[in-house]
């Protein structure tokens, strides 16, 4: 039985660590890290098979953070999972720290792929999923994309390839918070209707509330039942979710909380503790 309250609490913990490390670093991406915390919580603390003591376990499920600028949510998940000591989170974006502004697979255990150049993660995830199939390894690949990111053409080449190779061991998730660095996605380069596009490319598609843990878990479970095609979960989210002063504000796409904003954030996240 799924412990939904446990997953919600883990998501809250992720948000606490995100705002703390960003404020200490003085730079980084607040909005998209917070908006994806519920999704990442469900993946790392429920769905994915992984072993912090053996990051290279061949049977593990893989996670690709295609929207690499949201690295704080990945770092928080890895630390809370036990891949490294949480004290390392205070070194985010510091010189010689393994926790750089975008994830580096060569410097941090648990990071599968170095990401940050937007539009490339889904292609890498396709290659990983195909490789696992060829090797007969019954593992799954999960890929988290930003909605502004799917304006990149390479995403659609990967979408075509995933369908062609019938990668039913690939589950992609779009953090559809509707905002990117230059404004609303529909104004910068309209991405809608997302669902129809992926359906046309031959994917199985779910649309969910990306902050409703029951819906997230249900979609991830349903994706396991799909055969002969990849799955796309379009998760409707709110930029900066969890902290009222950040929510729905494009300003916080790429800036860190001030000390004063951090205090507000920590109070709200503490008040919301289960």
* pLDDT, tens digit, 9 for 90 and up, residues 26-83: 999 999 999 999 999 999 999 999 999 999 999 999 999 999 999 999 999 999 999 9
* pLDDT, tens digit, 9 for 90 and up, residues 188-236: 999 999 999 999 999 999 999 999 999 999 999 999 999 999 999 999 9
* Residue length of the chain: 274
Residue 247's Cβ-count burial label (10 Å; 0-12, 13-18, 19+) is middle
Q: How many CA atoms lie within 13 A of 7 on its CB side?
A: 22
Residue 36's Cβ-count burial label (10 Å; 0-12, 13-18, 19+) is buried
Q: Is the pLDDT of residue 273 over 70?
A: no
Q: Is the pLDDT of residue 272 over 70?
A: no
Q: CB neighbours of 5 closer than 8 A, spacing ≥ 6?
A: 274
- Cα separation, 17 vs 191, whole angstroms: 31
- Report the share of the chain in percent with pLDDT over 90: 98
Q: What predicted TM-score, i.e. pTM, was given to this entire model?
A: 0.97
* pLDDT, tens digit, 9 for 90 and up, residues 122-153: 999 999 999 999 999 999 999 999 999 999 99
Class (C level, CATH) for 4-271: alpha beta
* Local confidence band at 271 (pLDDT 50, 70, 90 cut-offs): confident
* pLDDT, tens digit, 9 for 90 and up, residues 1-36: 899 999 999 999 999 999 999 999 999 999 999 999
For the chain, what are the domain ranges? 4-271
- Cα separation, 92 vs 175, whole angstroms: 23
User: Under a CB-based contact definition with an 8 Å cutoff, are residues 120 and 156 in contact?
Assistant: no
* Local confidence band at 274 (pLDDT 50, 70, 90 cut-offs): very low
- Cα 96 to Cα 17, 18, 82, 174: the distances in Å are 20, 20, 21, 31
**Average pLDDT of the chain?**
97
């Amino acid at each position: 039985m799924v412990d939904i309250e446990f997953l919600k609490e883990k998501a809250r913990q992720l948000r606490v660590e995100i705002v703390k490390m960003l404020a200490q670093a003085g730079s980084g991406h607040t909005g998209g890290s917070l908006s994806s915390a519920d999704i990442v919580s469900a993946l790392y603390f429920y769905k994915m098979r992984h072993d912090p003591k053996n990051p290279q376990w061949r049977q593990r499920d893989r996670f690709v953070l295609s929207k690499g600028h949201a690295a704080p949510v990945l770092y928080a998940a890895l630390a809370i999972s036990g891949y490294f000591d949480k004290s390392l989170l205070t070194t985010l974006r510091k010189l010689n720290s393994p926790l750089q502004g975008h994830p580096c697979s060569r410097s941090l255990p648990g990071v599968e792929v170095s990401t940050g150049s937007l539009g490339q993660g889904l292609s890498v995830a396709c290659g990983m999923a195909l490789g696992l199939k060829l090797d007969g390894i019954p593992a799954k690949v999960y890929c988290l994309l930003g909605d502004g990111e799917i304006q990149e053409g390479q995403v659609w080449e990967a979408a075509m390839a995933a369908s062609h190779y019938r990668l039913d061991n690939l589950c992609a998730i779009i953090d559809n918070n509707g905002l990117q660095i230059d404004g609303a996605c529909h104004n910068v380069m309209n991405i809608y209707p997302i669902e129809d596009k992926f359906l046309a490319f031959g994917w199985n598609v779910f649309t969910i509330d990306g902050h409703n843990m029951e819906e997230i878990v249900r979609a991830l479970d349903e994706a396991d039942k799909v055969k002969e095609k990849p799955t796309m979960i379009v998760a409707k989210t709110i930029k900066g979710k969890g902290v009222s002063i950040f929510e729905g504000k494009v300003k916080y796409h790429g800036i860190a909380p001030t000390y004063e904003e951090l205090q507000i954030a920590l109070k709200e996240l503490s008040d919301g503790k289960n």
